[in-house]
Amino acid sequence: CGFIGRNLVAYLIENELVSFLRVIDKVPPQTAWLNKKHQQIFENPLVEFRSANLINP
């Protein structure tokens, strides 16, 4: 998740605007250089991460 994506995820979760959020990116959060705040967001049970390259379906 890039700068915009990870901040959008944080905004949606922190403001309780979603009941579930699936994030798809080719770079897993464990290797994405997330700061502590974003690491905690991606550990939230409401957030599911799927690794995929959407350019090559």
The pLDDT tens digits of the residues spanning 21-41 come to 999 888 766 666 778 998 899
Q: How high is the mean pLDDT of the chain?
A: 87
User: Are 41 and 10 in contact, with CB atoms under 8 Å apart?
Assistant: yes
